[in-house]
């Protein structure tokens, strides 16, 4: 984590082709990374090949940096290596330049605690560096000038080294994912339905997880969100964790595990999303996805996020998606009705809740129960033996038991996932009737 007692000052900059540049998100990102935002500069124009912004605007940027004594410039755009070099020559000596994706990688690096998260950050950094190494190679072959355009000394083997490291990381991540998939299957066999929370950062996913969860933490080795501590306040902060947090949900007739993952963020390039796709496997392999939306945001922004979320989720996900309109405590009833109507094509029949205030959480639990795969009813007739009593106890632990009758035999009526019903049948078939009393 960044040491908040020695925070660097930053200037944020953003260029847009048309309209006005909104710096709210990049400012939040910079602060999330540990920077104090001391100034900003925006421009509306087509991209300049040399400086990204116009050369005159680059000189204005240098003035803002000097005036605020900033040590970092954060662009809410993707910068090419040559643009970075040219901008660096305009700025005071020693000032660092981060584009949007370099900043996000810096935040990810601060948050990564598990081996999986660290590998994903390293993979993303390598994929960010690869085209720059390729650019050095191209320039070195063309110009035979090491360090041309400020790209650094050209190392002929660096490009291949990066590719080899990427291949090795992908192999290790695949091994981790296979282990996690095995764990998911074990949970399903134990009778658990798997629900995943998806959505953008600060939509309230972690707070909603806390509302839905029973007290039990499922995995001690997973990155735990600070706001899952009962004594902690939820943080308005981006990228609190890169890991997943899984908790057992408090539902009446089902055993449900709910997993929260890293939040989506707008305008991520494909290579960056691809680097973290193994984190999203908890979403892709769930039985139900809760897509959490901050309903207090402008409706056009919500619509754009819904479209992007659906593109991400439907790429590999086969589970039903239930849209959760969160933060209804922050909007008036009339505004909520208008937004529901405006978003009805993208979010049919959503559930509107306030995770912070606990409004409509019981209704959400009902909708989760309705949306999950149907439970299968079963009746087993068992011999009156100690082993049969142990099986009844096992069924109580893994299914929703509706009735048990004890007599010469045990009759148990229950409903459960198909996998649990099949295991119960198999266990019942192994039971041996007690021997008849000798005459």
Collapse the DSSP code of 362 into the 3-class scheme (helix H, G, I; strand E, B; otherwise coil) and give the result: helix
Q: Round to whole Å and give the CA distance between 190 and 179.
A: 17
Q: Round to whole Å and give the CA distance between 355 and 361.
A: 7
Does 162 count as an annotated binding residue? no
Q: Round to whole Å and give the CA distance between 28 and 60.
A: 23
Does 58 count as an annotated binding residue? no
Does 152 count as an annotated binding residue? no
Does 260 count as an annotated binding residue? yes
Does 199 count as an annotated binding residue? yes
335 Cβ neighbours under 8 A, 6+ residues apart: none
Does 157 count as an annotated binding residue? no
Collapse the DSSP code of 222 into the 3-class scheme (helix H, G, I; strand E, B; otherwise coil) and give the result: coil
CB neighbours (10 Å) of residue 74? 28
- Which CA distances in Å does 188 have to 17, 44, 182, 256, 372? 49, 52, 10, 10, 13
Does 204 count as an annotated binding residue? yes
Does 327 count as an annotated binding residue? yes
CA 291, distance to chain mean position in Å, is 11
Does 39 count as an annotated binding residue? no
Q: Both tokens of residue 26? A: 């990049």
> Up-side HSE of residue 287: CA atoms within 13 Å toward CB?
23
Collapse the DSSP code of 325 into the 3-class scheme (helix H, G, I; strand E, B; otherwise coil) and give the result: strand
Yes or no: say if 251 and 187 are a contact pair by the CB < 8 Å rule. Answer: no
Question: Residue 117, class by beta-carbon neighbours within 10 Å (0-12 exposed, 13-18 middle, 19+ buried)?
Answer: buried
CA 258, distance to chain mean position in Å, is 13
Which pairs with CB-CB distance under 8 Å and at least 24 residues apart come from 55-60?
Answer: 55/90, 58/86, 58/87, 58/90, 59/90
Does 168 count as an annotated binding residue? no
Does 312 count as an annotated binding residue? no
Does 403 count as an annotated binding residue? no
Does 356 count as an annotated binding residue? yes
Does 262 count as an annotated binding residue? yes
Yes or no: say if 240 and 207 are a contact pair by the CB < 8 Å rule. Answer: no
Does 71 count as an annotated binding residue? no
**Whose CA is closest to 204, among 272, 140, 136, 297?**
297
Does 439 count as an annotated binding residue? no
Collapse the DSSP code of 80 into the 3-class scheme (helix H, G, I; strand E, B; otherwise coil) and give the result: coil
Q: Round to whole Å and give the CA distance between 237 and 232.
A: 14
**Binding-site residue positions:** 199-206, 241, 260-263, 326-329, 354-356
**Binding-site residue positions for Mg(2+):** 206, 241
**Binding-site residue positions for GTP:** 199-206, 260-263, 326-329, 354-356
């Amino acid at each position: 984590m960044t040491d908040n007692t020695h925070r660097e000052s930053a200037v944020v900059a953003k260029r847009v082709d048309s309209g006005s540049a909104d710096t709210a998100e990049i400012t939040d990102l910079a602060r999330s990374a540990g920077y104090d935002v001391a100034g900003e500069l925006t421009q509306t124009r087509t991209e300049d090949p040399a400086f990204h912004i116009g050369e005159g605007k680059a000189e204005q940027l240098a003035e803002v940096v000097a005036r605020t004594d900033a040590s970092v410039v954060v662009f809410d755009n993707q910068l090419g290596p040559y643009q970075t070099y040219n901008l660096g020559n305009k700025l005071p000596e020693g000032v660092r330049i981060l584009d949007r994706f370099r900043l996000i990688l810096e935040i990810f690096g601060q948050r990564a605690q598990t081996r999986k998260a660290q590998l994903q950050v390293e993979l993303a950094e390598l994929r960010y560096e690869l085209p720059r190494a390729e650019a050095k190679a191209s320039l070195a072959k063309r110009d035979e000038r090491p360090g041309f355009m400020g790209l650094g000394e050209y190392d002929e083997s660096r490009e291949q080294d990066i590719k080899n490291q990427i291949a090795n990381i992908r192999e290790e991540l695949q091994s981790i994912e296979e282990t996690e998939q095995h764990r998911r299957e074990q949970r399903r066999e134990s009778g658990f339905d798997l629900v995943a929370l998806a959505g953008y950062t600060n939509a309230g996913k972690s707070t909603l997880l806390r509302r839905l969860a029973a007290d039990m933490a499922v995995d001690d080795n997973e990155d735990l969100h600070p706001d899952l501590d009962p004594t902690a306040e939820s943080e308005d902060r981006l990228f609190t964790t890169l890991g997943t947090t899984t908790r057992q949900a408090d539902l009446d007739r089902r055993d449900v595990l709910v997993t929260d993952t890293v939040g989506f963020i707008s305008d991520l390039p494909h290579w960056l999303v691809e680097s973290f796709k193994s984190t999203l496997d908890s979403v892709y392999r769930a039985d139900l996805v809760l897509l959490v939306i901050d309903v207090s945001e402008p409706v056009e922004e919500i619509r754009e996020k819904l479209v992007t979320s659906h593109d991400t989720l439907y790429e590999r996900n086969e589970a039903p998606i239930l849209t959760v309109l969160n933060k209804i405590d922050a909007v008036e009833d009339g505004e909520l009705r208008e937004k529901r109507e405006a978003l009805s094509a993208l979010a049919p029949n959503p559930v509107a809740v306030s995770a912070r205030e606990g409004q409509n959480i019981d209704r959400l639990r009902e909708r989760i129960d309705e949306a999950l795969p149907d439970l299968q009813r079963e009746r087993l007739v068992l011999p009156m033996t100690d082993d049969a009593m142990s099986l009844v106890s096992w069924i109580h632990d893994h299914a929703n038991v509706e009735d048990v009758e004890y007599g010469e035999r045990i009759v148990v009526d229950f409903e459960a996932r198909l996998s649990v019903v099949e295991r119960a049948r198999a266990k019942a078939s192994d039971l041996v009737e007690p021997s008849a009393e000798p005459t």
